[in-house]
Amino acid sequence: MTDPLLDLLDYRRRVNQMYQDVRSLRDRDPRAAHRLWRERRDELFRTHPQSALPPEKREAFRGLPYRDYDPAFAFTAAVRPLPRESYDVDTSTGGVIRFARFGAVDLPIGTLEVLWLDEYSGGVFLPFRDATSGKTTYGGGRYLLDTAKGADLGSSGDTLVLDFNFAYHPSCVYDPKWTCPLAPLANRLAVAVEAGELV
């Protein structure tokens, strides 16, 4: 048995590699990039010691449910600067995690604030809720970007790749032992984002 911290290191490396491969493929063939992302995520869920699934559920696991790729939910957007404001974001376990809002992205489906993890090393974080939340997706929202954990679809200058086909659920959906930040009020979209991972 390996050390859990070395397992976590390996998991993060694999996630980083997965997103690097997705970024290199997405511009040429977004559907193929989406298939690759799904396959690699399913493999991590099924086999990795740091899987969000409890160990007793891994053997029977047959894959996560997703919507088919829909280019209508793939965007790029410049980050519109906002005054930096730190605030606590609620978590799935009743606590809070400190983030700093530093900008917003204005999309055809609505506006979302872009957050920075206000902890050691930091990272861009973009969670959201939409009209599917609590119905076909987790009520606490999904994640689009979480660069501290390697979930990064790419950027160019102040422009982010925001492809909702790659939206995924936080780990707490699969096991309540995980503590996950929830999408804040400012990141609730009125539309149904019929893309990405389903419950």
For 139-183, what is each residue's pLDDT tens digit?
Answer: 999 999 999 999 999 999 999 999 999 999 999 999 999 999 999
CA atoms within 13 A on the CB side of 157: 6
Coil vs helix vs strand at 152: coil
Sheet holding 159-163, edge to edge: 74-78, 159-163, 155-156
- For residue 194, being part of any structural domain is answered with no
Label residue 2 by pLDDT band (50, 70, 90): confident
Coil vs helix vs strand at 63: coil
Label residue 118 by pLDDT band (50, 70, 90): confident
Number of structural domains in the chain: 1
Residue 97 to residue 179: CA distance in whole angstroms: 10
Per the structure, the complete domain to which residue 142 belongs is given by 4-187
- For residue 195, being part of any structural domain is answered with no
Residue 81 to residue 69: CA distance in whole angstroms: 30
- For residue 198, being part of any structural domain is answered with no
pLDDT at 120: 77
Terminal-to-terminal C-alpha distance of the chain? 32
Residue 177 to residue 180: CA distance in whole angstroms: 10
- For residue 48, being part of any structural domain is answered with yes
Q: Label each residue of 92-138 as H, E or C.
A: CCCCEEEEEEEEEEEECCEEEEEEEECCCCCCEEEEEECCCECCCEC
- For residue 75, being part of any structural domain is answered with yes
Q: Residue 1 pLDDT more than 70?
A: no
**16-57: pLDDT as tens digits:** 999 999 999 999 999 999 999 999 999 999 999 999 999 999
**81-94: pLDDT as tens digits:** 999 999 999 999 99
CA-closest candidate to residue 103, choices 47, 167, 157, 172: 157
- For residue 199, being part of any structural domain is answered with no
